[in-house]
C-alpha cells in the first residue's frame, strides 16, 4: 500500500488534515468571512454575552470576539510555520552534520543538545522575549531557536543508519562531495520523519505562542491573537466566560488537528505498519 | 557507585557554566537597559544620573568583565543585589519563594505518578478495551489542551459558578484567625487547582509512555515463562511486568522536570501564588538582571539535580546497569 492509500484510509488523519485545511482557508479569507472589523471598538456593547449579532460575544472594548478569533487564526498559522521552519532548519543541519561526520563533531553537537534539553526552556524564552521587546517576529525566532533539539536527534539517528548504505557508497564512488551526499542523497530519505516532527512542532509552537501572548509578552494588542483574547478573559473572569471559553477551544482544536495529521503521516510512512 | 556519583556531579559544573554563559550573554546583548525603566519614570533624570546608575550596576563595563564579576560573587554564594526598588539580596528573594514552588512541583509529580502509572498499565493490560479507547482519546486531548486555558475554565467553574475553591493566592483573608487544622485546610484548598493544573501537563505524556512500555514488556519471553510457571495473572502483571515497565519511566520523569518548573511561571501568575515563577515573571518585566540570572541558575540546578536523581534511581533499580 502506498502513502496516499494508507493516509486516505486513516479516518483520524483525514480529520486532522481537514482541520488544518479549514484553518488555512479561514486565515486566507479572514477579511471576507469575519463579520466585523476586529479592531472596531463599540463602547455601547462592552462585554456583551453571545447573541445573534455577536456569536461569541464582545470583549472589554465591545469588539466582536468571533472576528478577532478569525484574525487570530492568521497569527497562529504564521507563528507555527515560521518558528517550526526555523527549528527544522537548525535541527536538520546540525543533525545531518553530527550523524554524517560522527566523532568529535557529533560529540560536541550532542553535548550542546543536552545542555539545551536540560534547561527550563520556557524560562529562557520568557527572559529573551521580555528583554527583546515582545513582537511577533521575536516570538517566532525565539520559539524556533529553542525548539530544534528533538529534530537534531531524529535526523542524526536517520543519518547514522543511512550513511553506510550502498547508495551512499555509490554516490561517493562517482565523486560526489560531502555537501552533495548529505543534502541530495541522504536527506531525502530522512524527510518522512522530519515532516512528522514539523507537523507536531507546529502544534507545540502554537501552544507556546498562546501562552506567551496570554502572559502579555507575546503578540501585543490591538493585534488579535488567541492568547491575548484569553488575557482579557482572565481579567473579566467573573463576568465574561465567553472570553475564556472560545479562544481556548480554538487552540485546542488546532493543536489536535496538527497532532492527528502528524501521527497520520507517521503511520502512513512507517514501514512496519505496511501490510 | 560513589565514583559514578562524583563523576556526575562534577560533570554538572561545566554544564551549569555553559547555561549561565548563554543566559548572561543573551540577556545583556538584548537592547534596552534596566536604567531605562528608572529614568523614564523620572523626567528630571539627566544623562549624568543615568551614567551614575549604569556604573553603580557595573553596566558600563564590557560584558565579559561583568560576567566574570558575577561568577566571582557566585563563588562566594552571593547572587548580587536586586535592581528593584527594595535592593534586597537576590538569594533572599529567591529563598523565601522557593519552598512553595518546590512543594507544588513535588505534589504534582506525585500525582502524575499516582495517576499516570495505573492508567498506562490498565490500558495496556486491557488493550483495545473501552477503557483503553477512552483513555487514548483523553490522553490525546490532554496533549493539546493549553494548561492556562484549563486553569481559567476550572477557576470559572469551581471558583465562581460553584464557589467551592478560592481562585487566587495561598491564604484566605481570615487565615490568622483559623485554628492550626483550619489553616492547613485553607492552604490545601488554595493548592488544589494549582497542583492539578501543574500535574495535568505531565499526565498525558507519562500514561502514554507507560502504556507503550507495558505493551512491549508483556510480549517478552520472561512473561511467557512466568505464565507457564502457573503464576496468577495478578502476579505476572504487577510483579514481573510492572517492575520492568517502570524503569524507563523514571528517565521520563527526570526529563519532565524542566517542563514542570517552566510551567510554574504560568500557574503562579494565573493563581497569584507568591512563588519563584511569579518572581521570575515580575523580574523579567522589570529587567531586574541579577534576579533573573539567579532564578535561571536555580531552575537549571533543580533540573540537573532532578535528572541526577532519576539516573541514580534508574541505576539502583536496574540490576543490569551497574556503573563501575
ipTM of the prediction: 0.85
Interval B253-273: pLDDT, tens: 777 777 788 888 888 988 888
pLDDT of amino acid A275: 46
Percent of chain B with pLDDT over 70: 89
- Mean pLDDT for all residues in chain B: 82
pLDDT of amino acid A155: 92
In chain B the first and final C-alpha atoms are separated, in Å, by 6
User: Where is pLDDT greater, at B146 or B177?
Assistant: B146
pLDDT of amino acid B250: 79
pLDDT of amino acid B35: 63
Region of B118 on the Ramachandran plot (φ > 0 left; ψ -120 to 50 alpha; else beta): alpha
Confidence of residue A96 (pLDDT cuts 50, 70, 90): very high
Query: How far is C-alpha A40 from the chain's CA centre?
Result: 29
CB contact under 8 A, B287 and A131: yes
User: Where is pLDDT greater, at A32 or A115?
Assistant: A32
Candidate from A115, A215, A244 with C-beta closest to B152: A244
pLDDT at A95 over 90: yes
Candidate from B23, B143, B152 with C-beta closest to A259: B143
Q: What is the mean pLDDT of residues B213-231?
A: 86
pLDDT of amino acid A111: 84
Show which of residues 30-69 on chain B sit within 8 Å of chain A, judged by CB atoms: 30-32
Interval B6-39: pLDDT, tens: 887 888 888 888 888 888 877 776 666 666 665 5
pLDDT at B310 over 90: no
Which residues in chain B have Cβ-Cβ distances shorter than 8 Å to A121? 258, 262
pLDDT at B162 over 60: yes
- Mean pLDDT for all residues in chain A: 87
Most confident of the ranges B30-44, B55-69, B93-107: B93-107
Alpha-carbon distance A227 to nearest alpha carbon in chain B (angstroms): 9
pLDDT of amino acid B208: 87
**SS3 letters for chain B?**
CHHHHHHHHHHHHHHHHHHHHHHHHHHHHCCCCHHHHHHHHCCCCCHHHHHHHHHHCCCCCCHHHHHHHHHHHHHCCCCCECCCCCCCEHHHHHHHHHHHHHHHHHHHHHHHHHHHHHHHHHHHHCCCCHHHHHHHHHHHHHHHCCHHHHHHHHHHHHHHHCCCCCCCCCCCCCHHHCCHHHHHHHHHHHHHHHHHHHHHHHHHHHHHHHHHHHHHHHCCHHHHHHHHCCCCHHHHHHHHHHHHHHHHHHHHHHHHHHHHHHHHHHHHHHCCCCCHHHHHHHHHHCCCHHHHHHHHHHHHHHHHHHHHHHHHHHHHHCCCCCCC
User: Where is pLDDT greater, at B303 or B98?
Assistant: B98
CB contact under 8 A, B303 and A120: yes
pLDDT at A274 over 60: no
pLDDT at A68 over 80: yes
Identify the weakest region by mean pLDDT among A9-18, A23-32, B40-49, B65-74: B40-49
pLDDT at A112 over 50: yes
Q: What is the mean pLDDT of residues B301-318?
A: 79
pLDDT at B295 over 80: yes
CB contact under 8 A, B31 and A117: no
Interval A133-153: pLDDT, tens: 778 888 899 899 888 998 999
Which residues in chain A have Cβ-Cβ distances shorter than 8 Å to B167? 237
Interface of A with B (CB under 8 A): 114-115, 117-124, 126-128, 130-133, 203, 207, 210-211, 214-215, 217, 230, 233-234, 237-238, 241, 244-245, 247-248, 251-252, 255-256, 259
pTM of the model: 0.85
pLDDT of amino acid A100: 92
Give the chain A residue whose CA is nearest to the CA of B137: A256
Amino acid at each position: 500500500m502506498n502513502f496516499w492509500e494508507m493516509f486516505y484510509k486513516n479516518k483520524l488523519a483525514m480529520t486532522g488534515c481537514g482541520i488544518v485545511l479549514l484553518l488555512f482557508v479561514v486565515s486566507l479569507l479572514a477579511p471576507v468571512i469575519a463579520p466585523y472589523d476586529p479592531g472596531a471598538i463599540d463602547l455601547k456593547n462592552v462585554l456583551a454575552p453571545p447573541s445573534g449579532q455577536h456569536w461569541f460575544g464582545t470583549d472589554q472594548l465591545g469588539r466582536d470576539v468571533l472576528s478577532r478569533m478569525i484574525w487570530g487564526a492568521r497569527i497562529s498559522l504564521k507563528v507555527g510555520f515560521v518558528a517550526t521552519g526555523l527549528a527544522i532548519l537548525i535541527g536538520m543541519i546540525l543533525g545531518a552534520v553530527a550523524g554524517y561526520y560522527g566523532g568529535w563533531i557529533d560529540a560536541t553537537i550532542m553535548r550542546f543538545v543536552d545542555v539545551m534539553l536540560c534547561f527550563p526552556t520556557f524560562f529562557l524564552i520568557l527572559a529573551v522575549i521580555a528583554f527583546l521587546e515582545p513582537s511577533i517576529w521575536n516570538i517566532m525566532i525565539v520559539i524556533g531557536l529553542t525548539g530544534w533539539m528533538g529534530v537534531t536527534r531524529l535526523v542524526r539517528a536517520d543519518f547514522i543508519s543511512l550513511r553506510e548504505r550502498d547508495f551512499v557508497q555509490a554516490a561517493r564512488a562517482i565523486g560526489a562531495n560531502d555537501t552533495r551526499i548529505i543534502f541530495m542523497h541522504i536527506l531525502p530519505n530522512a524527510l518522512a520523519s522530519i515532516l512528522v516532527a514539523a507537523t507536531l512542532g507546529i502544534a507545540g509552537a502554537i501552544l507556546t505562542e498562546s501562552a506567551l501572548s496570554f502572559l502579555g509578552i507575546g503578540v501585543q494588542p490591538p493585534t488579535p491573537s488567541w492568547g491575548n483574547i484569553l488575557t482579557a478573559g482572565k481579567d473579566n473572569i467573573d463576568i465574561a466566560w465567553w472570553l475564556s471559553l472560545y479562544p481556548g477551544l480554538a487552540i485546542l482544536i488546532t493543536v489536535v488537528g496538527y497532532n492527528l495529521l502528524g501521527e497520520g503521516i507517521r503511520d502512513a510512512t512507517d514501514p512496519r505498519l505496511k501490510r | 557507585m560513589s565514583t559514578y556519583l562524583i563523576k556526575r556531579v562534577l560533570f554538572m559544573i561545566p554544564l551549569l557554566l555553559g547555561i549561565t554563559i548563554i543566559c548572561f550573554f543573551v540577556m545583556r546583548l538584548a537592547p534596552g537597559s534596566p536604567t531605562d525603566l528608572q529614568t523614564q519614570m523620572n523626567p528630571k533624570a539627566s544623562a549624568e544620573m543615568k551614567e551614575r546608575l549604569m556604573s553603580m550596576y557595573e553596566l558600563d563595563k564590557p560584558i565579559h568583565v561583568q560576567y566574570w564579576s558575577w561568577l566571582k560573587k557566585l563563588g562566594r554564594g552571593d547572587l548580587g543585589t536586586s535592581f528593584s526598588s527594595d535592593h534586597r539580596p537576590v538569594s533572599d528573594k529567591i529563598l523565601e519563594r522557593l519552598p512553595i514552588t518546590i512543594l507544588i512541583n513535588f505534589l504534582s509529580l506525585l500525582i502524575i505518578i499516582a495517576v499516570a502509572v495505573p492508567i498506562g498499565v490498565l490500558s495496556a493490560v486491557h488493550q483495545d478495551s473501552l477503557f483503553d479507547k477512552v483513555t487514548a482519546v483523553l490522553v490525546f486531548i490532554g496533549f493539546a489542551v493549553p494548561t492556562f486555558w484549563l486553569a481559567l475554565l476550572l477557576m470559572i467553574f469551581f471558583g465562581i459558578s460553584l464557589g467551592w475553591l478560592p481562585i487566587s493566592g495561598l491564604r484566605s483573608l481570615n487565615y490568622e484567625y483559623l485554628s492550626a487544622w483550619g489553616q492547613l485546610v485553607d492552604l490545601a484548598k488554595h493548592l488544589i487547582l494549582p497542583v492539578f493544573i501543574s500535574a495535568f501537563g505531565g499526565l498525558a505524556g507519562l500514561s502514554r509512555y507507560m502504556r507503550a512500555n507495558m505493551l512491549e514488556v508483556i510480549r517478552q519471553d520472561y512473561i511467557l515463562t512466568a505464565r507457564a510457571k502457573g503464576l496468577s495473572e495478578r502476579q505476572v502483571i504487577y510483579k514481573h511486568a510492572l517492575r520492568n515497565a517502570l524503569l524507563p519511566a523514571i528517565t521520563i520523569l527526570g526529563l519532565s522536570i524542566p517542563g514542570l518548573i517552566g510551567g510554574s511561571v504560568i500557574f503562579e501568575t494565573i493563581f497569584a501564588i507568591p512563588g519563584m515563577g511569579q518572581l521570575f515573571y515580575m523580574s523579567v518585566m522589570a529587567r531586574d538582571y541579577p534576579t533573573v540570572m539567579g532564578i535561571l541558575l536555580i531552575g537549571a540546578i533543580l533540573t540537573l539535580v532532578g535528572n541526577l536523581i532519576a539516573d541514580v534511581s534508574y541505576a539502583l533499580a536496574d540490576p543490569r546497569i551497574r556503573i563501575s
